[in-house]
Amino acid sequence: MTETLDRTTHIRSAWRAAWDHGRVEALDELLSPSYVRRRGPASAPQDREQFKDSVRAVRLAFPDLRTEIEEIVEDGDRLAIRWRSTGRHTGTFLGVPATGKAVEVSGATFARFDGPAVAEEWVTFDSRQLLEALGVITTAKQAAVDPELVRGVHRKFITGVTVVTTDDDGTPKGLAVNAFSSISLDPPMVLVCVQRGSATHPALHRASHLGINILAAGQLDVAKVFASKADDKFAGLAWSPGDFGAPLIDGSCAQLEVEIGERLQAGSHTVFTGRVVSARHDDLAPLVYSGGGFFDISHTAPLPW
């Protein structure tokens, strides 16, 4: 019983010192020298020094941080702690510059004691709650805008036309996509948005790589086939697998192969992001899509810039 009180009291006081006041040395008395902090399969485990560094980093971003221990349950050498942290975001955190927003995150920590010290901890918390509070993601419903009005706006935006492809266990699949964008050059990353109702969509969830074929002005027929629901869009088409297996269509003016990273659900579409792993382009003019029509801009005059 005495040890129960000691452990609980010790955790409360060390957490308050470290999380609320930045005195991370208090953790040296609570955590054993061989302490390991586990945060799920996506994050590398931390040792005691790394954990202290991460507390310092959180406090730099949220200097008024307060962590409230809502419940502690003990079972033998294990302790389960339910906690809630609040703070104002006034410094860069997870790459997000200060927003001034009040952030609240709750989670649970399971601690294994070895004698008086914590040898190991498993931490889970609601990362969506944190990302939403920082404004990285939003689930809030916005005021509706007339979809026809929005469609009219999109018709003012000129794009190229790509065919996004993938190898589905030996069968090439693909669809016409103009929702393609570069994200970053270093590292080279791109995105494509694919409607969930598309027949190619499930294959893009199974695949590790996708191909992006930027169509040339002479490939209007290819654009039409890949904008259709035809069974075998590759029948009679000249194409070959790229270095990473994605189908690459002959005659395209540029081609990328992309290792798929995230598959973000957004409205009716999935945003596939990824790292460019192979690239080529040539001198052919691109096919252009604008206001519902296709154009060959190779004979247009460039404006002075």
3-state SS, residue 244:
coil
Cβ count near 180 (within 10 Å): 17
Among 54, 90, 195, 273, binds ligand FMN (CB under 6 A): 195
**Nearest distance from residue 21's CB to ligand FMN, in Å?**
51
Q: Is 198 in the site for ligand FMN (CB under 6 A)?
A: yes
Cβ distance to ligand FMN smaller for residue 198 or 219: 198
Cβ distance to ligand FMN smaller for residue 109 or 162: 162
Q: Is 193 in the site for ligand FMN (CB under 6 A)?
A: yes
End-to-end Cα, the chain, rounded Å: 79
Q: Is 200 in the site for ligand FMN (CB under 6 A)?
A: yes
Q: Any long-range contacts for 171-179 (C-beta under 8 Å, 24+ apart)?
A: 172/234, 172/239, 172/247, 173/199, 173/200, 173/203, 173/233, 174/200, 174/211, 174/226, 174/233, 174/234, 174/247, 175/199, 175/200, 175/226, 175/227, 176/223, 176/226, 176/227, 177/212, 178/289, 179/269
Among 58, 79, 176, 222, binds ligand FMN (CB under 6 A): 176
| Amino acid letter, 156 | K
Among 115, 229, 235, 240, binds ligand FMN (CB under 6 A): 229
**Nearest distance from residue 150's CB to ligand FMN, in Å?**
15
Among 58, 175, 225, 248, binds ligand FMN (CB under 6 A): 175
Cβ distance to ligand FMN smaller for residue 46 or 162: 162
Cβ distance to ligand FMN smaller for residue 181 or 184: 181
Binders in 103-162 for ligand FMN, by CB under 6 A? 161
Among 34, 92, 228, 300, binds ligand FMN (CB under 6 A): 228
Cβ distance to ligand FMN smaller for residue 99 or 195: 195
Cα 209 to Cα 241: distance, rounded to the nearest angstrom? 11
| Amino acid letter, 123 | V
Q: Is 289 in the site for ligand FMN (CB under 6 A)?
A: yes
By CB under 6 A, the count of residues binding ligand FMN is 17
At residue 131's C-alpha, the angle toward residues 21 and 12, to 5°, is 30
Tokens of 41: 């399969």
Buried-state track 269-279, b at ≥16 Cβ within 10 A, e below 16:
bbbbbbbbebe
Which span sits near ligand FMN by CB under 6 A: 32-40, 111-119, 130-138, 191-199?
Answer: 191-199
- Hey, which residues does 113 pair with through a beta bridge? 118
Q: Is 199 in the site for ligand FMN (CB under 6 A)?
A: yes
Environment class of 304 (CB within 10 Å of its CB; exposed 0-12, middle 13-18, buried 19+)? exposed
Tokens of 138: 């939003």
User: Do 40 and 110 contact (CB within 8 A), yes or no?
Assistant: no
Sign of the C-alpha dihedral computed for residues 294, 297, 299 and 301 taken in this order:
positive
Among 108, 136, 227, 271, binds ligand FMN (CB under 6 A): 227
Binders in 244-283 for ligand FMN, by CB under 6 A? none
Cβ distance to ligand FMN smaller for residue 87 or 211: 211
Cβ distance to ligand FMN smaller for residue 5 or 153: 153
Binding site for ligand FMN (CB under 6 A): 161, 175-179, 193-195, 198-200, 226-229, 289
